[in-house]
Copies of this chain bind each other. A is one copy, B any other.
Amino acid sequence: MGIQADSVRVPSPGRKRKFSFLSVNLRTSGRKTAFGAVLAAACIFLSSAAALAEPPAWTQIHPGVWKASAGRPERITLLGAAGGTAETDALASLPRAEFPLPAGEIDVRSADGKTFLRFPLARGERIFGLGLSFQNVDQRGRILTLRVDHYGGSDNGRTHAPVPFYVSSRGYGILVDAARYITVYAGTGVRREAKDPPVLRDRNTDKAWEAQPYSDAVEVLVPAGGADVYVFGGPTPLNAVQRYNLMSGGGCLPPKWGLGFTQRVPTLYSAEDILKEADEFEKRGFPLDFIGAEPGWQSMAYPCTLEWDKGRFPDPAGFVSALGGRGVRTNLWLNPYIAPGSALFPKLKGLAGSHTVWNGIVPDLLLDKAVRAFQEHFLKEHIDLGVGGYKIDEVDGFDSWLWPDTTTFPSGASAEQMRQVYGLLLQRYTAGWFKEKDRRTYGLVRGTNAWAAPLPYVIYNDSYSHREFITALVNSSFLGVLWTPEVRASKTAEEWVRRMQSVCFSPMAMINAWADGTKPWSFPEVENAVRDAAGLRMRLLPYLYTAFARYRFEGIPPFRAMSLIEGFDAWAASAGVPGALRDQYLMGDSLLVAPMFAGQAVRKVVLPPGDWFDFYSGDPVGGGQTIEVAPGLDRIPLFVRDGGIIPLVPFRRHAPAAGETLPLEVRHYGRASGRFDLYDDDGTTFGFERGRRSWTALIVDRDAAGNLRASMAAPAPGKPFGYARDAAWRFMTRPPHPEP
């Protein structure tokens, strides 16, 4: 169905664009009055014109990525705010893709000062993405007004990452880039001229009558004069996601310590208290790589000074250094609304919005001068002291907290635009300041948007439903964002261990239970189970770090929806199994994670086609079917695909430092041959971008006798590789396979 051309222009079925002068350059008019009269007339005419159709002109800007302008795109875009640059080589190495839709069925119109887009939708097609949803994975049939906001309990588009990107089960993606509250009708509206119209039925007498008749289109309303539109080819849904991630620069590669454990501490903890907390983790033998200080590290918060409280932190540099001496990085909470008492205030007060947030000014981060003031302050006060990262809070919502949409900003950006990009800007700039110091950071953010894959931040929120947290983790994989199902207080030991198990299989193993003081060891009856899960995460770091490296270089999300497995939803539909699963996912290529929830003794797991094996025992569990598991409290169900290779290191409390050499255990599951390219670098700098990285093949294949044999390629000479060369291989699946 595709069209093989680098530039595709297909006349839209609607009316031709009438106002070609909209894009001509400025020439001054003779008389001012005439100018005014002409403008007034034309504006009135434009605003009353019903619908100006404008055929989209697609240009292939990268292999398998097409771009078109709908209407007149605005100056402020999500791509511009995120600031990434495409990984062109990686894009070029993806499978060839053709333009994935019948271009003539894509319609763009301008009307009422807005831009309407329409994309065709096929029967059985599923739609994923469209903002970080917490309850639904398949968005078809939903209406979402995508707006940076706190998730308020229903999937209506108000969310921490309202990314206007969708991935189709048919293997393509579409992104509408406008820093606006975009509404997507994901297969709900029915046109009179629909190509595939619904059946007419009489509700009085026909039981098959439907409240929502069949719709053959995705319609998008951009409340602005235009938008950039991107189409990402497949052929698989994962390929489309890869192209989207690579367009923005590829996924972030956290420092190794970012993948260890993090604990957050009570807001009024002093430097001394925090050091004691680190000591207690050490005493208990529990892993810990960074600690987050909550608002009280500052001299005032809500609004924030972004300055250390001299009472609680008399020697900030000494504190950060002392914590570092314990192998623990410092993370600082902030929100960006500046208190009058801060040294930043006089520098920013002329560069802020018209409205305040909690009495703090809102710096206009679209002004270079405001960014530079922030930069100078952040470097001097935090980064140069050794602080490892930030938790950027309250850049999402609620409406009654943030600046209203009537706010004006000195840069000329509207309140709506600023809302849609503020989290992106803060992530981009703070990450950039670390990068200038050749240090990687990894932090938390509560509001973000499209093209965020390279930004080393993980989303979180306060809603605290374990099931919804897992659904968010599933959905994050469609959107170029990361999500942590953080652990706070739990009512029962069972809940605690189930949540701890989940967070160990997520982008950030965060314990955030400071409000009630729960510690990993607080529930004695599950303490060992919690330690097992935490230990397993630490042992899996080589596997996980490699998954992130593939995010960085290939755009493959490290945590992944089942629907990103090639053909999964089609198989599920044909097998009568539910697709678009919200409660299980992949970590890396080979590990299927099926979290247990409190109150649940047994759960169903859908195993994709192929043979799958229990991670712990190596036993076969089936494939292409739904199984039930009853793992007891001490384990989270984990399954490995046939031929899966999982590298592990011995348990450790901290992520490895540069220069360390760790013993390697390599597990093979199932009966198929397999290969795992183990990634490594120094773990903390951007040397990897300058070639200081290694990929080392771990291979299981069959010899002439048909026996499995394992081998490890020689590490590239002169490249960082922090593992011993004599890996301990384990063939997990019995009957035994001969070891090499």
Contact = CB atoms under 8 A, between A and B. Distances in A.
A50 B410 CA distance: 7
A185 B405 CA distance: 9
A208 interface: no
Nearest to A408: B51
Given A143-B400, A202-B301, A359-B198, A405 B183 contact: yes
Given A21-B32, A37-B21, A403 B359 contact: no
B35 A42 contact: yes
A190 to B, nearest CB: 5
Nearest to A37: B27
Interface in A351-388: 352-356, 358-359, 361
A223 B223 contact: yes
A2 to B, nearest CB: 26
A354 B192 contact: yes
A48 interface: yes
B185 A406 contact: yes
A355 B190 contact: yes
Contacts of A651: none
Contact of A34 (B29, B32, B46, B220): B29
A500 to B, nearest CB: 29
Interface string A10-38: 00000000011111111111101111111
Given A21-B32, A192-B361, A268 B339 contact: no
A338 B512 CA distance: 56
Contacts of A21: 32-33, 35-37, 39-40
A640 B295 CA distance: 56
Contacts of A36: 19-22, 24
A48 B406 CA distance: 15
Interface string A174-217: 00000000010100111111000110111111000101110000
Nearest to A340: B200
A43 interface: yes
A192 B356 contact: yes
B219 A406 contact: yes
A423 interface: no
B38 A39 contact: yes
Contacts of A90: none
B202 A50 contact: no
A221 interface: yes
B416 A225 contact: no
Residue among A43, A198, A356 facing the most chain B CB atoms (10 A cut-off): A356
A333 to B, nearest CB: 11
A414 B111 contact: yes
A176 B128 CA distance: 39
A49 interface: yes
Given A48-B412, A223-B223, A414-B112, A404 B355 contact: no
A723 interface: no
A407 B189 contact: yes
Contacts of A409: 50
A295 B405 contact: no
A286 interface: no
A309 B203 CA distance: 13
Interface residues of A, number: 102
Contact of A212 (B204, B219, B401): B401
A188 B355 CA distance: 11
A412 B49 contact: yes
A266 to B, nearest CB: 11
A300 interface: yes
Contacts of A438: none
A300 B399 contact: no
A298 interface: yes
A225 B47 contact: yes
B24 A48 contact: no
Contacts of A131: none
A413 to B, nearest CB: 9
Contacts of A209: 302
Contacts of A695: none
A567 interface: no
A116 interface: yes
Given A302-B209, A400-B141, A296 B204 contact: yes
Nearest to A197: B359
A705 interface: no
A116 B415 CA distance: 12
A35 B36 CA distance: 10
A267 interface: yes
A40 B51 CA distance: 18
B191 A356 contact: yes
Given A112-B414, A295-B203, A406-B189, A211 B359 contact: no
Nearest to A142: B400
A118 interface: yes
Interface in A96-117: 109, 111-114, 116
A732 to B, nearest CB: 48
Residue among A143, A189, A399, A400 facing the most chain B CB atoms (10 A cut-off): A189
A123 interface: no
A690 interface: no
A75 interface: yes
B212 A400 contact: yes
A714 interface: no
A41 interface: yes
Contact of A267 (B32, B204, B267): B204
Contact of A189 (B20, B191, B193, B403): B403
B24 A37 contact: yes
Contacts of A33: 21, 24, 27
Contacts of A295: 203-204
A221 B414 CA distance: 12
Nearest first, the 7 A-B pairs at minimum CB distance are A21-B36, A189-B404, A112-B414, A203-B302, A26-B41, A27-B37, A116-B406
12 contacts: A23-B40, A25-B40, A29-B34, A50-B408, A118-B406, A142-B400, A143-B400, A189-B403, A203-B301, A204-B298, A212-B400, A221-B406
Given A192-B353, A220-B406, A221-B404, 9 more contacts: A22-B40, A24-B40, A29-B29, A38-B38, A49-B412, A190-B355, A191-B354, A193-B354, A200-B359
